[in-house]
C-alpha cells in the first residue's frame, strides 16, 4: 500500500523524497568525475560496476517554478513532450527509430524544479546517444502544426489527471497555499493556459531559447563506460552549444500568517482524503533545522510511528497515512496525507495529526527514535544505488537543485550530527498553525461533517488577554453515583485530573506542565463535572495535548486509583469529621433535607461507597458519561479559531452515547421542625438550617429572591441584616449568612463558585461559630 500511494503522489506532483541519513561525510559510494565546458555545461561522470549498462540523463534546471509570466503556465512540462519532436539532423521519426533500434528505455518527466530526460542504454550505444541528445538540445525543431497537435495532447493529459483525486487535491492545495510564488500552479499548469497553448507557438520558441541553454543543463552519466573517452565525445557534440540562459525573476512568497482551509469536491467516487500541509524551507544541506525538518515525516507519520500504528493498524480508521517532506529550490510544502474511512471521522483524524505535531513540539523525540529513522534513511539510500538507473534517478533532483551530487555528503553529514533538540526546534519553526493549509477532498455532494457538539460552545474571545482558558462540562455528577458506590463520579474525575494517562504517568505530566506554568483540574457537583484548564497563549500549544490526553486517554492506573481513593476517604474520615464543623453541619443538613434522593450524599461520596468502588467501576462510569453527546465546551481569552476547531474535533473522539437522564430530586415535604445534632468535642458550634426551594435561575421569581437574600445575609456581606444584628450588635460570632443557591466550601471562598448548577436548591442559613454557653 505504501508503495502504491507514493507512486500516486509522485505521479501527480513528481516530487522526490528527502534522503538524509545518519553518517559521516563520504556517503556517496562512487567516484564522480566533474567537468564544465567553456559554455557552462556541467558534466557529471559516475563510473560504476554495471556490466556494460549505462544511464544517460540530461537534467534541465527548469520546472514549473520558472513559469513567471501570466497566461503561459505549463510550458516546462510542454517541452518534455516537444523535445521528442527531434531536430533537423534527427527528426522525431528518425530519433524514435534510432532509440528503438538500440533497445533503449527513453523517457522524461517534469516537476516544479526540473525537467529530466533519461535513457538506459548499453555502453556500445553511448556515442550514438550523445550525438542524438546533443542534436535535439541544441537544435530542437518543430512546426506550428506539430506544436498545436502536441498542445491538444497536453490538454488531454490534463483532463486525464482530473480523474485522479490526488491530482485534483494537489492542484487545489497549491493554489490555496501560495499567493505570489510560482509554486501556486502545478507542473502541468492552469487549465485556461493549457487551453490557450495552441495560440502560443511564438512564445514556445522563446521559452526554448531562454531555458534550454548549456548553463542551465547538467549531463549526468552513470554505469560501465570510459569516462575520458566519453567526456571527449561530449566536448565534441556539445561544445558549440551557445550560452544564453535567462534566469527568471521568481516572485517571493509573503509570509503566511494564518491557517488556510479548503474544501475540494471531486466528481468521481472516493473516500475522503485529508491533507495537512505546511510552508517548508528550501534545501539547505548544511542547516540542521532544515534537515531535521525533513526527518519529521518519518518520525511522526511513518510506518513505525505511534500515529501510524494507531490510525492504520490498531483502530483502522484510515486507509493510509503518508508524508512528503521533500526538497525544493524555494520553500515548498511539507505535507501529510491520509484517506479516512468514515467521513464523520475526518475532523477527529485531523485532530490526531495536529496532536502528533504538537506532541513533537512539546515533548520532542527520543534519541533512540531519531537514530532509528536516520539508520533507515541511510541504508534505504545506499541500498538503492546498485544500478546506473537507480543512481541517476536518485541524484536527479538534488543535481537540479544544486548543480552537483556533492550535496549528498553535506546533507548526510548534517543529519549525522542532529540532536532531538534540533528536531524539536524544526517542528516549532515550520509546523505552526499559521504556516498550514488544511484540505479535505471528497466525492461531490458528500457531507463531511464538521465537529458538531451536542451543545453550542460557550465562547468568550479576548484577543488582548495573555491567556487561554478551557472548560469541559460533562452532564454527570454525584447524582449519577450508583447506589452503594457513592463517590464514583468524583473519583472518576480525580482519575482524569490527577492521574496518569495512557502515555504519561502523573509525575511526568506535572513535569511537562511546570515550565509552562499551566494546569488543569476537575470539579464535581450534584449534576455536573467540569474540567478547567488555562495556559498562557504562547504555552497553549504545549499545554493543550496534555490536557486532551488526560480527557481522551486516561491511564486508569491502579496506583493512581488507590492514592486518590485513599485521599477521598481521608477527607471524610479525618478532615470533615474532625477539622470542619461548618462543612460537617452542612453535610448533615443536606443529608436530612434531601433524604431519599441522589442529592443526599456528599459529592466526594461516603466511606462505605468509596470502599466498594473498583477500578472497573471507574472505567465503566467514564465510558457511560464521558461521551461526545454529553459535553459542552467553552473557550475564553486569546484563542485562535483553529484552537476551537481542534477542540471540537477532539471532542468527537469521545465515545458515542447519550446517558439516561436522572430525574430532578423531589425532597419530601418538611413536617414541623426537625433537628439533627452531631455530637463531637469542641469549643464552638456551627449551626445550619434551611428547607428546599424549587426556584433556580430560570425561574421568574428567582431574581426577586436574590435581592431579598442580599439584604438578609449574602455571603461575606458585612452590611446585611444577619451580620449586623448578630455579629455587629451582639458580637456573638464570626459569620452569619444566608443562601438561596449551593455554596460548597463557603468558609474558604469570598465569591460563589461556578459549576454547581442544580435543579433543586435549598434556602439555608449558616451561623458560625457559636460558643457554648
756-766, pLDDT tens digit by residue? 889 999 999 98
380 grid coordinates: 534505504
For residues 70 and 97, give the distance between their C-alpha atoms in angstroms, rounded to a whole number. Answer: 38
Contacts of 364 (CB under 8 A, 6+ apart): 420, 421, 423, 424
Q: What integer pLDDT is reported at residue 670 of this predicted model?
A: 86
Q: Is 75 helix (H, G, I), strand (E, B) or coil?
A: helix
Q: What integer pLDDT is reported at residue 645 of this predicted model?
A: 82
Secondary element (H or E) of residue 114: none
- Is the distance from CB of 291 to CB of 411 less than 8 angstroms? yes
Place of cell 541500498: 383
400 grid coordinates: 537540479
Judge whether residue 50 has pLDDT over 90: yes
Least confident range from 144-153, 475-484, 649-658: namely 649-658
For residues 19 and 420, give the distance between their C-alpha atoms in angstroms, rounded to a whole number. Answer: 18
Averaged pLDDT for residues 323-339: 97
The residues facing 338 across adjacent strands are 274, 321
Residue 661 buriedness (CB in 10 A; 0-12 / 13-18 / 19+)? exposed
In the chain, how long is the greatest CA-to-CA distance?
Answer: 123
Q: What's the pLDDT band for 772 if we cut at 50, 70, 90?
A: low
Averaged pLDDT for residues 406-431: 94
Q: What integer pLDDT is reported at residue 773 of this predicted model?
A: 60
Other C-beta atoms lying within 10 Å of the C-beta of residue 216: 23
Q: What integer pLDDT is reported at residue 437 of this predicted model?
A: 96
Judge whether residue 12 has pLDDT over 60: no
For residues 611 and 214, give the distance between their C-alpha atoms in angstroms, rounded to a whole number. Answer: 85
Query: Is the model more confident about 744 or about 327?
Result: 327
pLDDT over 70, % of the chain: 96
Q: What's the pLDDT band for 657 if we cut at 50, 70, 90?
A: confident
Q: Is 536 helix (H, G, I), strand (E, B) or coil?
A: strand
Instruction: Single out the residue of 260, 74, 280 nearest to residue 161, CA to CA.
Output: 74
Instruction: Single out the residue of 489, 335, 515, 423 nearest to residue 20, CA to CA.
Output: 423
For residues 614 and 719, give the distance between their C-alpha atoms in angstroms, rounded to a whole number. Answer: 49
For residues 556 and 561, give the distance between their C-alpha atoms in angstroms, rounded to a whole number. Answer: 7
Judge whether residue 131 has pLDDT over 90: yes
Instruction: Single out the residue of 743, 754, 759 nearest to residue 697, CA to CA.
Output: 759
Query: Is the model more confident about 515 or about 360?
Result: 515
Using the Cα atoms of residue 388, residue 390, residue 396 and residue 399 in order, give the sign of their dihedral: negative
Contacts of 673 (CB under 8 A, 6+ apart): none
pLDDT tens-digit series, residues 479-497: 999 999 999 999 999 999 9
Q: What's the pLDDT band for 356 if we cut at 50, 70, 90?
A: confident
Q: What integer pLDDT is reported at residue 111 of this predicted model?
A: 96
531 grid coordinates: 474540567
Tell me what the pLDDT averaged over the chain comes to. 91
Q: What's the pLDDT band for 731 if we cut at 50, 70, 90?
A: confident
Secondary element (H or E) of residue 33: strand 33-36
Secondary element (H or E) of residue 582: helix 581-593
Q: What integer pLDDT is reported at residue 479 of this predicted model?
A: 97
Other C-beta atoms lying within 10 Å of the C-beta of residue 400: 24
pLDDT tens-digit series, residues 79-102: 999 999 999 999 999 999 999 999
- 522 vs 497, 498, 609, 681, CA distance in Å? 6, 8, 20, 34
pLDDT tens-digit series, residues 225-251: 999 999 999 999 999 999 999 999 999
726 grid coordinates: 448578630
Q: Is 708 helix (H, G, I), strand (E, B) or coil?
A: helix
For residues 611 and 258, give the distance between their C-alpha atoms in angstroms, rounded to a whole number. Answer: 52
Residue 453 buriedness (CB in 10 A; 0-12 / 13-18 / 19+)? middle
Which CATH superfamily hosts domain 458-519+556-651? Metalloenzyme, LuxS/M16 peptidase-like (3.30.830.10)
Secondary element (H or E) of residue 46: strand 42-47
For residues 771 and 773, give the distance between their C-alpha atoms in angstroms, rounded to a whole number. Answer: 6
Least confident range from 74-78, 345-349, 730-734: namely 730-734
Judge whether residue 475 has pLDDT over 90: yes
Give, in degrees to the nearest 5, the angle at Cα 45 between 42 and 50: 155
Q: What integer pLDDT is reported at residue 302 of this predicted model?
A: 96
Gyration radius of the chain over CA positions: 36
Count, residues in the chain: 773
For residues 20 and 343, give the distance between their C-alpha atoms in angstroms, rounded to a whole number. Answer: 36
Instruction: Single out the residue of 31, 20, 32, 18 nearest to residue 412, CA to CA.
Output: 20
pLDDT tens-digit series, residues 601-622: 999 999 999 999 999 999 999 9
For residues 93 and 735, give the distance between their C-alpha atoms in angstroms, rounded to a whole number. Answer: 105
For domain 684-771, which architecture applies? 2-Layer Sandwich (3.30)
Q: What share of the chain is helix, strand, coil (3-state, %, to 5)?
A: 45, 20, 35
Instruction: Single out the residue of 171, 47, 26, 54 nearest to residue 112, CA to CA.
Output: 171
For residues 697 and 206, give the distance between their C-alpha atoms in angstroms, rounded to a whole number. Answer: 78
For 90, phi then psi, to 5°, come to -130, 80
- DSSP single-letter state for residue 384: T
- Is the distance from CB of 709 to CB of 738 less than 8 angstroms? yes
Contacts of 370 (CB under 8 A, 6+ apart): 295, 299, 418, 419, 420, 423
Other C-beta atoms lying within 10 Å of the C-beta of residue 622: 21
The residues facing 637 across adjacent strands are 461, 468
* All CATH 3.30.830.10 domain ranges in the chain, comma separated: 2-441, 458-519+556-651, 684-771
The residues facing 336 across adjacent strands are 276, 323
Q: What integer pLDDT is reported at residue 378 of this predicted model?
A: 84
214 grid coordinates: 548549456
- Is the distance from CB of 653 to CB of 350 less than 8 angstroms? no
For residues 647 and 81, give the distance between their C-alpha atoms in angstroms, rounded to a whole number. Answer: 49
Averaged pLDDT for residues 730-748: 81
192 grid coordinates: 485556461
Averaged pLDDT for residues 521-539: 95
Q: State the DSSP string of 655-671.
A: PP--PPPPPPP-PPPP-
Q: Is 629 helix (H, G, I), strand (E, B) or coil?
A: helix
Least confident range from 514-523, 531-540, 582-591, 678-687: namely 678-687
470 grid coordinates: 478551557
For residues 487 and 13, give the distance between their C-alpha atoms in angstroms, rounded to a whole number. Answer: 58
Place of cell 565525445: 233
Averaged pLDDT for residues 175-187: 97
Which CATH superfamily hosts domain 2-441? Metalloenzyme, LuxS/M16 peptidase-like (3.30.830.10)
Amino acid at each position: 500500500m505504501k508503495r502504491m500511494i507514493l507512486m500516486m503522489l509522485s505521479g501527480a506532483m513528481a516530487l522526490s523524497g528527502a534522503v538524509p541519513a545518519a553518517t559521516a561525510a563520504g556517503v556517496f559510494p562512487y567516484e564522480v568525475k566533474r567537468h564544465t565546458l567553456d559554455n557552462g555545461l556541467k558534466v557529471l561522470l559516475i563510473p560504476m560496476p554495471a556490466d556494460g549498462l549505462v544511464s544517460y540523463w540530461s537534467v534541465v534546471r527548469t520546472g514549473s517554478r520558472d513559469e513567471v509570466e501570466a497566461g503561459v503556465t505549463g510550458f516546462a512540462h510542454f517541452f518534455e513532450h516537444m523535445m521528442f519532436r527531434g531536430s533537423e539532423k534527427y527528426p522525431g521519426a528518425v530519433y524514435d527509430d534510432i532509440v528503438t533500434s538500440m533497445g533503449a528505455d527513453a523517457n522524461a518527466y517534469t516537476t516544479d524544479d526540473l525537467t529530466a530526460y533519461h535513457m538506459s542504454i548499453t555502453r556500445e550505444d553511448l556515442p550514438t546517444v550523445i550525438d542524438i541528445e546533443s542534436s535535439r538540445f541544441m537544435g530542437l525543431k518543430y512546426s506550428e502544426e506539430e506544436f498545436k497537435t502536441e498542445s491538444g495532447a497536453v490538454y488531454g493529459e490534463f483532463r486525464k489527471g482530473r480523474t485522479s483525486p490526488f491530482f485534483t487535491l494537489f492542484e487545489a492545495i497549491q493554489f490555496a497555499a501560495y499567493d505570489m510564488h510560482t509554486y501556486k500552479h502545478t507542473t502541468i499548469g492552469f487549465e485556461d493556459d493549457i487551453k490557450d497553448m495552441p495560440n502560443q507557438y511564438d512564445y514556445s520558441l522563446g521559452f526554448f531559447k531562454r531555458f534550454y541553454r548549456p548553463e542551465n543543463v547538467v549531463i549526468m552519466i552513470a554505469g560501465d563506460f570510459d569516462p575520458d573517452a566519453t567526456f571527449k565525445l561530449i566536448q565534441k557534440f556539445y561544445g558549440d552549444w551557445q550560452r544564453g540562459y535567462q534566469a527568471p525573476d521568481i516572485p517571493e512568497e509573503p509570509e503566511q500568517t494564518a491557517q488556510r482551509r479548503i474544501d475540494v469536491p471531486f466528481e468521481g467516487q472516493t473516500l475522503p482524503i485529508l491533507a495537512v500541509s505546511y510552508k517548508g524551507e528550501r534545501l539547505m544541506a548544511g542547516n540542521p533545522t532544515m534537515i531535521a525538518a525533513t526527518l519529521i515525516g518519518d518520525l511522526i507519520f511513518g510506518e513505525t510511528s505511534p500515529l501510524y500504528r494507531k490510525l492504520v493498524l490498531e483502530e483502522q480508521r484510515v486507509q493510509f497515512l503518508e508524508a512528503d517532506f521533500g526538497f525544493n529550490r524555494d520553500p515548498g510544502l511539507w505535507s501529510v496525507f491520509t484517506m479516512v474511512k468514515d467521513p464523520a471521522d475526518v475532523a477527529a483524524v485531523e485532530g490526531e495529526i495536529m496532536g502528533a505535531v504538537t506532541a513533537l513540539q512539546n515533548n520532542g523525540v527520543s534519541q533512540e527514535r531519531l537514530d532509528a529513522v536516520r539508520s533507515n534513511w541511510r541504508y534505504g539510500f545506499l541500498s538503492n544505488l546498485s544500478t546506473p538507473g537507480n543512481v541517476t534517478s536518485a541524484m536527479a533532483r538534488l543535481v537540479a537543485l544544486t548543480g552537483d551530487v556533492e550535496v549528498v555528503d553535506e546533507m548526510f553529514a548534517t543529519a549525522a550530527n542532529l540532536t532531538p533538540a534540533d528536531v524539536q526546534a524544526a517542528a516549532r519553526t515550520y509546523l505552526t498553525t499559521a504556516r498550514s493549509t488544511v484540505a479535505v477532498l471528497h466525492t461531490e455532494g458528500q457531507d463531511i461533517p464538521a465537529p458538531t457538539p451536542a451543545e453550542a460552545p460557550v465562547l468568550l474571545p479576548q484577543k488582548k488577554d495573555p491567556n487561554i482558558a478551557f472548560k469541559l462540562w460533562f452532564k454527570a455528577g454525584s447524582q449519577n453515583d450508583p447506589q452503594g458506590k457513592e463517590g464514583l463520579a468524583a473519583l472518576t474525575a480525580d482519575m482524569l485530573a490527577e492521574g496518569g494517562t495512557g502515555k504519561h504517568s502523573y509525575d511526568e505530566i506535572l513535569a511537562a506542565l511546570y515550565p509552562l506554568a499551566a494546569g488543569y483540574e476537575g470539579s464535581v457537583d450534584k449534576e455536573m463535572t467540569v474540567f478547567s484548564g488555562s495556559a498562557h497563549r504562547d504555552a497553549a500549544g504545549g499545554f493543550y495535548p496534555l490536557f486532551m490526553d488526560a480527557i481522551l486517554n486516561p491511564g486508569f492506573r491502579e496506583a493512581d486509583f488507590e492514592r486518590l481513593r485513599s485521599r477521598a476517604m481521608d477527607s471524610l474520615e479525618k478532615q470533615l469529621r474532625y477539622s470542619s464543623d461548618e462543612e460537617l453541619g452542612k453535610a448533615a443538613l443536606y443529608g436530612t433535607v434531601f433524604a431519599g434522593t441522589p442529592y443526599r450524599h456528599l459529592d466526594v461520596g461516603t466511606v462505605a461507597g468509596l470502599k466498594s468502588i473498583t477500578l472497573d467501576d471507574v472505567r465503566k462510569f467514564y465510558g457511560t458519561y464521558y461521551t461526545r453527546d454529553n459535553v459542552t465546551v467553552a473557550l475564553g481569552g486569546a484563542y485562535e479559531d483553529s484552537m476551537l476547531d481542534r477542540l471540537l474535533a477532539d471532542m468527537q473522539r469521545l465515545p458515542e452515547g447519550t446517558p439516561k437522564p436522572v430525574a430532578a430530586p423531589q425532597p419530601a415535604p418538611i413536617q414541623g421542625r426537625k433537628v439533627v445534632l452531631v455530637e463531637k468535642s469542641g469549643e464552638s458550634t456551627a449551626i445550619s438550617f434551611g428547607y428546599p426551594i424549587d426556584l433556580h435561575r430560570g425561574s421568574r421569581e428567582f431574581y426577586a429572591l436574590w435581592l431579598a437574600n442580599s439584604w438578609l445575609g449574602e455571603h461575606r456581606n458585612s452590611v446585611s441584616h444577619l451580620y449586623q444584628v448578630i455579629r455587629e450588635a451582639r458580637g456573638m460570632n464570626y459569620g452569619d449568612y444566608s443562601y438561596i443557591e449551593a455554596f460548597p466550601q463557603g468558609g474558604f471562598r469570598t465569591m460563589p463558585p461556578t459549576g454547581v448548577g442544580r435543579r433543586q436548591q435549598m434556602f439555608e442559613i449558616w451561623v458560625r461559630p457559636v460558643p457554648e454557653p
